Amino acid sequence: MENKITIAVDGFASCGKSTLAKGIAKALDYAYIDTGAMYRAVTLYCIENEVNINDDNAIQSALDAIDIRFKTIEGKNTAFLNGKNVEEDIRKMFVSNRVSEVAAVSLVRRAMVRQQQEMGKEKGVILDGRDIGTVVFPDAELKLFMTANIEVRTQRRLLELQNKGQSITPEIIAKNLQHRDHIDSTRADSPLKQADDAIVIDNSNLTENEQLTMCLALVKIRINS
């Protein structure tokens, strides 16, 4: 697998995109960019600084003051906001509850997309998000669109949050996932939608290993074609 490609992984909330993308990145020694973490970091900043997201000037000042970086810490991709490790905070429900509204703001999208395009300009990169195959890297050699049924997605996120010591009910999680899917799919600016040339993967009944094996086979085909 010598030829490096760009891989876009898009799909619905909590459908295993990041697990898959991290697995592929590790197997191929590719760089991994978690674009959702970037929108989550902007959201955290807006909450902490009480930024009015309907005010373009306020949003622009916030974006000018925001610096998002990723570092690998103990083998884990970790998000930093203005030098502070925010990996844990950005996954909490108070951020999940607001992130889709913030991510629908065009100024926010423009700034994040620009940074993602810069971060991913070298081939040998995999990005997970909502608009990677349609907007950020429309020329990506491999585009995957992930989906899974709501029960499976809810259970996965429940387990993830419980493992981090957050107590939450499945009902609250399911409501948040559906709420985000709705806003993400219906927003005016770069909505979540499958790229025409994306391969759809419903992983409701696939294990992490099965989906990884399947997608690595797809990567191999693309690299050799």
Contact footprint for ligand CDP (CB under 6 A): 13-14, 18, 35-36, 39-40, 99-100, 103, 129-131, 180, 184
For the CB of residue 167, give the shortest distance to ligand CDP in the complex, in Å.
Answer: 18
- Say if residues 25 and 126 touch (Cβ distance below 8 Å): yes
Residue 2 or 196: the one with the smaller Cβ distance to ligand CDP is 196
Residue 100 or 211: the one with the smaller Cβ distance to ligand CDP is 100
For the CB of residue 100, give the shortest distance to ligand CDP in the complex, in Å.
Answer: 4
For the CB of residue 224, give the shortest distance to ligand CDP in the complex, in Å.
Answer: 28
For the CB of residue 47, give the shortest distance to ligand CDP in the complex, in Å.
Answer: 14
Residues whose CB is less than 8 angstroms from the CB of residue 149 and which lie 6 or more positions away in sequence, other chains included:
204
Residue 38 or 219: the one with the smaller Cβ distance to ligand CDP is 38
Residue 99 or 174: the one with the smaller Cβ distance to ligand CDP is 99
| Burial 16-47, CB ≥16 within 10 A → b, else e | bbbbbbbbbbeebebbbbbbbbbbbbbbbbbb
What gap in Å lies between CA 63 and CA 108, rounded to an integer?
Answer: 7
Residue 172 or 223: the one with the smaller Cβ distance to ligand CDP is 172
In 3D, which of 131, 81, 139 has the Cα closest to residue 106?
Answer: 131
For the CB of residue 72, give the shortest distance to ligand CDP in the complex, in Å.
Answer: 18
Residue 35 or 115: the one with the smaller Cβ distance to ligand CDP is 35
What gap in Å lies between CA 61 and CA 126, rounded to an integer?
Answer: 30
Residue nearest to ligand CDP (CB): 36
- Say if residues 70 and 61 touch (Cβ distance below 8 Å): no
Residue 58 in 3-state DSSP?
A: helix
For 53, the token pair is 């997201």
- Say if residues 180 and 95 touch (Cβ distance below 8 Å): no
For the CB of residue 139, give the shortest distance to ligand CDP in the complex, in Å.
Answer: 16
